[in-house]
Structure 1
Amino acid sequence: MSPDFYVCEVVLWAGRNHRFPLREGWTATPRLAVRWLQNEAVRVAGLIDPDPDAEWLGPIPSSRLLVSPAPDVTDVPQALRDWADDAALHDTAMSDLSNRNPFHFHTRDRQTGVSLSALPVPVAFAADWDPFKDVSKAA
């Protein structure tokens, strides 16, 4: 039996304790959840480390471009791109979600991190959940 939907999110971490949710989405299947996360990984990698020739950047002096990180530091945009291109990791994520287990991928360098996650939400919880319920009038 599979949950009816999956909550997916992308979070940017600054330092150790500063969490900035970038985007959230809901999907109907594990495959759609992984595809959503895959698209977000590519999108966020492109925002952190854009193609220097991207039209939306306009002309940029080469002195303003990011340099590759030191060999002992994780290249966060590349780690996101690598995850987005790895079909075996996607299969593992879909298997985890199909078995009602959450999925989480996290990569970080010395200053920032990016998390991709998906959580299966059971039908019973979804049926009882009302995010707009006024709890101040509860008896």
Structure 2
Amino acid sequence: MLSTVDIERGITKVIEKLGNAKYTDFEPLEFEPVAVKDKIDEHTDFFIYDEVVTHVTRFYRFIEQQMQEEVRLKTFDDTLLRAQIKALARKLIDKGYPKMRIHSDLTDRLIQITKQDQRYCAYVVSYFVQSCEVFDAAS
């Protein structure tokens, strides 16, 4: 179902850089990722909540810097990429899939497109949860 929505292929470079980064390249967040807390209930969806918060806390700044660099180099259109990720997530949400499955399916789609390791693709999906392309804030 997700293959009907294209994703900017320039995201591959961001994921490749993530895969080649060293521990010292990661600057952890000094604050709690509020967007995640607003979108995933830690009591009902603990496992995906914990996974996303861990990814965001460790890798958000690095991914954000790499995204900005690729936009500067005109490797991809950031606005288009975010709209595509949001469209993919919306398709899964509209089908009523649980958040853990949505995260997993988006990760799988990035793997298909980028041919990169599952863990790096999952980090990038978590980045998009924090930056508001995946999941809506709870009302």
Alignment TM-score, normalising by the size of structure 2 = 0.28
Structure exhibiting the larger radius of gyration computed from Cα positions: 1
Alignment TM-score, normalising by the size of structure 1 = 0.28
Higher helix share: 2
Give the structure, 1 or 2, with the largest relative contact order (CA under 8 Å, sep 6 or more).
2
Higher strand share: 1
